[in-house]
Amino acid sequence: MAWFDDKEEFYLAQQLEKEGNSLDISSRRHFIKNSLSFLAGSASIAALPNTVNAQTPPNIPKWTRSLGRGVVSVPYGQPSKYQKNTVRRTVPWLTADSISAVSMTPLQDLKGIITPNGLVFERYHAGVPDINPDQHRLIIHGLVERPRIFTMDDLKRFPSVSEIKFLECPANGGMEWKGPQMQGLQFTHGMLSCCEWSGVKLSTLLQEVGVKSEGKWVLAEGADGAAMARSIPLEKALEDTIVVYAQNGEALRPEQGYPLRLLNPGWEGNTSIKWLRRLEIGDKPWYMREETSKYTDLMADGKARKFSFVQECNSVITSPCPEKPWKKHGWYELEGLAWSGNGTIKAVDVSIDGGVKWQPAQIKGVVLSKALTRFSLPFKWQGQPLLLQSRAIDNTGYVQPTLAQLREQRGMNSIYHKNAIHTWQVTADGSVNNVQLS
């Protein structure tokens, strides 16, 4: 199967137009053939005449005819200036102040499963503290045999682990319980990232301090101005919680908790306390502000689900999306992300008619527990209107619900844990809209 049938003229024509060349369409096929056979006969493009004109496509660009910048000029690399629109973005009306706010990952611009550190979404409650790691301490106390205060150097001497895990705010998509609000993947799903996290397993540290038999819960508290704190069941702490100091190889970024944070894989991001300063072992939860008035799920009957920790199985199509419309007819790779806080992604189905018929997508690359997973489906678009949906299934057998199913269980009062099947409407001109089906 050729992906671009008979398209060669089109793309070369496009290039020539940019260069101000006025060749008419009828002459192009002959022109291309001559030019290419000329190129094929030479050992290297460098052997071409220096006089660049329309007879030697593709033109030798200006950057091939000059020297670039040297190696020492950027000791810590930065993106190309042409990528300046690939940035985290905020929704100004969503929060009252920028120090207790959220920025979102530009999922529409990303490939693979790793989120680069500069684009990982942010959420904090009293701004980003500027912590000197030499002065930072982690205290572990409460129902333990040997209370301890650790320096960063101490923590780095323990056996370490490195795990690729997604991190998601449970409010991701939370603006959309009652109807579509956001035009753009970055805003409907961008409180989501996936990194390789390195640090010490919390179970290692708890072994060091010796948890008393009556210890059942862990309070984790941050060193930020909000002293953000959450209660975590000891069972989770002993299972896979990590006290993290590195992210994608390097030290944590300030907005991600530098120099130390917790990571509760697969659980709501809010529990993965940043700027981690204190762990207390207790026999019951603490019922802190962020697990009572916030981060609980208000149901239709006025009661609230509490300690709804797990980010359940979810998925979204990332290409196309409102920010990445289909500009031409022809073959595309329809692509997306799936994830589950309960384990691995087992399958993803895709629908082009709003969930009437489904077909299996291909799972791509490495499939890791509690990590983002890519799926894709080659698709030939010829201008037909579509209602695109994806539906993920994890290794526990859990199937991502429809919005109607979710509303039936939870009502529409909650902000959190909206993992419903998402719909993109593709219109005849290739633009993509965020819609909800009744």
Structure tokens that stand for 193 in this block: 């990232």
Q: Which is nearer to a copy of itself, 245 or 312 (CB)?
A: 245
Shortest CB 437 distance to a copy of itself, Å: 28
Q: Which of residues 303-342 bind a copy of itself (CB under 8 A)?
A: 327, 330-333, 335
d(C-alpha 365, C-alpha 115), whole Å: 15
Question: What angle do the packed helices 8-18 and 28-40 form, to 10 degrees?
Answer: 90
- Asked whether position 28 contacts a copy of itself by CB under 8 A, the answer is no
365 near a copy of itself (CB under 8 A): yes
Choose one: 172-180, 191-199, 383-391, 404-412; the region binding a copy of itself (CB under 8 A): 191-199
Least Å distance between CB 381 and a copy of itself? 10
- In the set 25, 27, 46, 235, which binds a copy of itself (CB under 8 A)? 46
Following CA atoms 183, 186, 189, 193 in sequence, which dihedral angle do they give, to the nearest 10 degrees?
180
Residues forming beta bridges with residue 230, ordered by sequence position:
220
How many residues of this chain interact with a copy of itself, rule: CB under 8 A?
Answer: 144
CA dist 295 and 11 (Å) reads 51
Using CB under 8 A, pick the residue from 108, 248, 271, 311 that binds a copy of itself: 248
End-to-end CA distance of the chain: 38
Is 98 a binding residue for a copy of itself by CB under 8 A? The answer is: yes
CB count within 10 Å of CB 140 equals 22
- Residue span binding a copy of itself (CB under 8 A) among the ranges 108-116, 175-183, 235-243, 407-415: 108-116
Binding mask 128-157 for a copy of itself (x = CB under 8 A): xxxxxx-xxx-x-xxx--xxxxxx-xx--x
Closest approach of Cβ 201 to a copy of itself, in Å? 12
Could you tell me the smallest distance in angstroms from the CB atom of residue 175 to a copy of itself? 16
Q: Is 203 in the site for a copy of itself (CB under 8 A)?
A: no
CB 230 within 8 A of CB 269: no
- 398 lies in the binding site for a copy of itself (CB under 8 A): no
Listed residue (235, 297, 305) closest to 264, CA to CA: 235
Q: Tell me the H-state helices in 190-250.
A: 202-209, 234-239
d(CA 295, CA 287): 11
Q: How far is the CB of 426 from a copy of itself (least distance, A)?
A: 15
Classify 275 in phi/psi space as left (phi over 0), alpha (psi -120 to 50) or beta.
left
Contact between 8 and a copy of itself (CB under 8 A)?
yes
Question: Binding to a copy of itself by residue 409, rule CB under 8 A?
Answer: no
88 counts as binding a copy of itself under rule CB under 8 A: yes
For position 61 contacting a copy of itself by CB under 8 A, the verdict is yes
Residues 212-231 that bind a copy of itself (CB under 8 A): 219, 221, 223-225, 227, 229
By CB under 8 A, is residue 45 in contact with a copy of itself? yes
Contact window for a copy of itself (CB under 8 A) among 86-94, 173-181, 336-344, 406-414: 86-94
* Interaction of residue 73 with a copy of itself, rule CB under 8 A: yes
Q: List CB contacts of 55: < 8 A, sequence separation 6 or more.
A: 35
CA pair distance 151, 128, nearest whole angstrom: 21
Query: Which of 12/421 has CB closer to a copy of itself?
Result: 12
- What is the identity of the amino acid at 305? R
Say whether residue 278 binds a copy of itself (CB under 8 A): yes
CA 248 vs CA 115, 245, 265, 275: distances in Å: 9, 10, 15, 17
Told to check if 364 binds a copy of itself by CB under 8 A, we report yes
Binding status of residue 166 toward a copy of itself by CB under 8 A? no
Which strand ranges, in their side-by-side order, compose the sheet holding 386-394? 359-360, 345-351, 386-394, 423-426, 432-435
Tokens matching residue 112: 């693979």
Q: Which listed residue (34, 55, 162, 427) binds a copy of itself by CB under 8 A?
A: 162
What residues from 341 to 360 belong to the interface with a copy of itself (CB under 8 A)? none
Residue with Cβ nearer a copy of itself (230 or 391): 230
Cα distances (Å, whole numbers) of residue 365 to 84, 333, 368: 28, 15, 10
Residue type, 78: Q
376, amino acid identity = S
Question: Which of positions 369-388 make contact with a copy of itself (CB under 8 A)?
Answer: 374, 376, 378
246 near 204, Cβ under 8 Å?
Answer: no
Q: Does 258 bind a copy of itself (CB under 8 A)?
A: yes
Applying CB under 8 A, which of residues 56, 90, 402, 413 lies at the interface with a copy of itself?
A: 90
Residue 421: CB partners within 8 Å, gap ≥ 6?
315, 355, 389, 390, 391, 400, 401, 402, 403
> For a copy of itself, which stretch binds (CB under 8 A), given 69-77, 168-176, 340-348, 383-391?
69-77
